[in-house]
Amino acid sequence: MSNIKKFIVFEGLDGSGTSTQAELLRAHLEKISEPARLTTEPSDGLIGNIIRHAMNKRIIFTEDKEIYDRQMAYLFAADRHDHLYSKNGIIEMKERFNVICTRYYFSSFAYNCDNASYFDFIKRLNADFPAPDLCIYLKISPEIAVQRIAKRDQLEIYEKLEKLKSVSDNYDQLFLAYKEKHIIIDAEKSIDTVHNEVCNFVLQNLTQSKAL
């Protein structure tokens, strides 16, 4: 068992399978005596719940899209700070567990950036947050994403084809420039194939940490 625990982030379009793959990874790590915990953003905290209500249109802050996007960016940053540093938050959990999180600040760049000025704004909001040890980007086409999420009972505000095309482009640019440890996996493959690629990447890095 490795003494160095990892903060592992899954990113991808809605419908890419981040939640499924995060749970499969958690189960696999537990099986090989690598204790792991799952978490997600928006978090289950107070601010995270406000975000969820806004995304489900149960709370409407404004009809102005530009103002709304900025409000959501501020809320996500506040929730992220709470998620990291609150009691039983990510930083505290990582002392004992590998922490697997679906979505992190990459999602803020992907979902809330429509132009260069917004990118700079999101970058300032998230500048002080620690990078994950490992990031896994599950890449699917926006068209496949829409097909998958169409089966859901209720769609959120970001789950539309036009928006997901923009998000996909943002993700591509983001990970093209990202220099920390990450992997891009074709999530249109079978669940088992994706899971195997995820496990190979994570276990390789756990082994390297143990050897240091």
Cα within 13 Å of Cα(83), Cβ side: 26
Domain that holds residue 25: 7-40+97-211
Separation between Cα atoms, residue 128 and residue 105, nearest integer Å: 11
Residue 61 lies in a domain: no
Residue 187 lies in a domain: yes
Task: Average pLDDT across each block of 10 residues of the chain; the chain has 212 residues. List them in order.
Answer: 84 96 98 96 95 85 82 95 96 97 96 84 96 98 91 62 91 95 97 98 82 42
Convert the pLDDT of each residue in 80-95 to its tens digit.
Answer: 999 999 999 999 999 9
pTM of the prediction? 0.91
Number of structural domains the chain divides into: 1
Q: Check: CB of residue 128 under 8 Å from CB of residue 104.
A: no
Residue 85 lies in a domain: no
Q: Which two tokens stand for residue 29?
A: 């790590």
For residue 11, give the H/E element and its range: strand 7-12
What sign does the dihedral 14-7-71-173 (CA atoms) show?
A: negative
Residue 54 lies in a domain: no
Residue 161 lies in a domain: yes
Residue 21 lies in a domain: yes
123: left (phi over 0), alpha (psi -120 to 50) or beta: alpha
Residue 179 lies in a domain: yes
Strands across the sheet containing 36-40? 36-40, 98-102, 7-12, 134-139, 182-186
The domain that holds 127 is classified in CATH as 3.40.50.300
pLDDT of residue 67: 85
Residue 47 lies in a domain: no
